[in-house]
Each structure stands twice: as C-alpha cells, then as structure tokens.
Structure 1
C-alpha cells in the first residue's frame, strides 16, 4: 500500500505507549494497532486531529505516500 503510517515513529520519539495513546485519543488499543500497523482502510478526521494534538505533530508527520514498486 503506498500510504505509510508513521505513528509508531512518533510514539517512540514521544515515549508514549499504545495503551496510553489510545486512552488519550479515545479509541481502543486494538483500533490504534490497526492504524499503527497500516491495516486501516480509513481514518476519521477526529481521530487524526486527536493524534496530532496528543503527539504534537502535523498530519503529514503521521502519513506519507510512497510509490509502489513493481
């Protein structure tokens, strides 16, 4: 998938656990894991906003596009 999710990178930089981040943004740890591992098909803007607020970042810090290699 050409959209890469870098939530785990920011979590490591901010030294925050999956459980703590999930609590602070209001989703379950399982749903955060789906987002974090790039398996989500969509993300709500409210969730993206909460992630940016808690991780003190911009949406582009969390998501990036990489071309597919054939």
Structure 2
C-alpha cells in the first residue's frame, strides 16, 4: 500500500506556483518541494489544512491511497 501525493496536479489546476503556495501556507520552499515530489514521509495536519485552504481543495484531492 502507498499514499500518493498529487499536489502538483492540484497546483496546476489552480495555476499556483510553488513560491506563491509556500508563502501563503507558511512553509519553506524546500519543504513544499519535497512534499510536491512525493519524497515526504509525513505531513502535519496543520500543513495539510493550510494547503487545502490556499488551493480551495479537499485532502483527498492531494492524497490518494494506492494498493501496490
């Protein structure tokens, strides 16, 4: 099983840049990039909440579960 991150898809639909989103969410560009590329091992609910608010989406739009 694996959790896949689809943040780049949501950002593309909302026409949001990495820099703009990092500033709005209040996390570093490096940490947001790690999350966007799927290299993150965890995400805080507060960060997920801030991303969802900024992109006007649901957590399920960003995170998906795939059975390997």
TM range (shorter): over 0.9
Q: Which runs of 4+ in 1 moved over 6 A?
A: none
2:41 is matched with 41
Return the alpha-carbon distance in structure 2 between the equivalents of residues 49 and 55 of structure 1: 10
**So what's the TM-score if we normalise by structure 2?**
0.95
1:21-36 equivalences under 5 Å are: 21-36=21-36
Paired residues, number: 68
CA deviation after TM superposition for structure 1 residue 28, in Å: 0.7
Unaligned runs of 5+ in 2: none
RMSD of aligned C-alpha atoms? 1.0
TM-score (norm. length: structure 1): 0.93
For 2:4, what is the secondary structure of its paired residue?
Answer: strand
CA distance in 2, matches of 1:14, 1:42: 24
